[in-house]
């Protein structure tokens, strides 16, 4: 079972674990659609994605994660599943550019080199010039 211990305090402190369901309920800002959000890497990002990436690993660009439990503001990585449809490749190619930049900044913050990021995301190196080191 995963533990909250791997999360930065800033994030961990916003989660309450439901003893009943095992859900990790997000206590900070929740969007109109019901998803938790956290200010991370200079942006507001869906909290369940951030927690997933911190504890499990990078979500490949273009993939979504779907909740398997009933709480959209649940951020337990064990309660979500990567959406791995057969159209992954097609979807990855159609990822909005801005989303790739978000992913690029995230990878950069996690310590990946710009060369790695260019390769992983398939975006031109000249766009990576805009990446900056930010405190996580």
> Measured from the CB of residue 25, what is the shortest distance to Zn ion in angstroms?
8
Q: Write the CA distances from 84 to 18, 64, 68, 89, 112, integer angstroms.
A: 28, 8, 14, 10, 24
Q: Enumerate residues 103-132 that contact Zn ion by CB under 5 A.
A: none
> Measured from the CB of residue 23, what is the shortest distance to Zn ion in angstroms?
3
Q: Which is nearer to Zn ion, 33 or 129 (CB)?
A: 33
Interacting residues of 101 by C-beta distance below 8 A, sequence separation 6+:
123, 127, 130
The residue within the footprint of Zn ion, chosen from 15, 23, 104, 121 (CB under 5 A), is 23
**Distance (Å, rounded) from C-alpha 38 to C-alpha 11?**
8
The site map against Zn ion for 40-79 (x = CB under 5 A) is -----------------------------x-x--x-x--x
**Distance (Å, rounded) from C-alpha 22 to C-alpha 61?**
28
> Measured from the CB of residue 5, what is the shortest distance to Zn ion in angstroms?
18
> Measured from the CB of residue 125, what is the shortest distance to Zn ion in angstroms?
39
The number of C-alpha atoms within 13 Å of 115 and in the hemisphere containing its C-beta is: 0
Q: Which is nearer to Zn ion, 69 or 131 (CB)?
A: 69
**Distance (Å, rounded) from C-alpha 59 to C-alpha 120?**
12
Tokens of 130: 């805009």
Judged by the rule CB under 5 A, the positions of this chain that interact with Zn ion are: 23, 69, 71, 74, 76, 79
């Amino acid at each position: 079972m995963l533990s909250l211990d791997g999360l930065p305090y800033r994030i961990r402190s916003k989660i309450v674990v439901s003893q009943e369901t095992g859900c990790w309920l997000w206590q900070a800002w929740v969007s109109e659609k019901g998803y938790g959000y956290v200010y991370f890497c200079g942006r507001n990002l869906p909290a369940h994605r951030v927690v997933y990436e911190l504890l499990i690993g990078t979500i490949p660009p273009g993939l979504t994660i779907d909740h398997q439990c009933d709480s959209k503001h649940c951020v337990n990585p064990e309660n979500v599943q990567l959406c791995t449809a057969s159209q992954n490749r097609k979807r990855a190619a159609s990822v909005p550019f801005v989303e790739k930049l978000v992913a690029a900044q995230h990878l950069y913050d996690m310590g990946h080199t710009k060369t790695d990021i260019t390769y992983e995301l398939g975006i031109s190196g000249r766009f990576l010039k805009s990446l900056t080191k930010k405190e996580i």
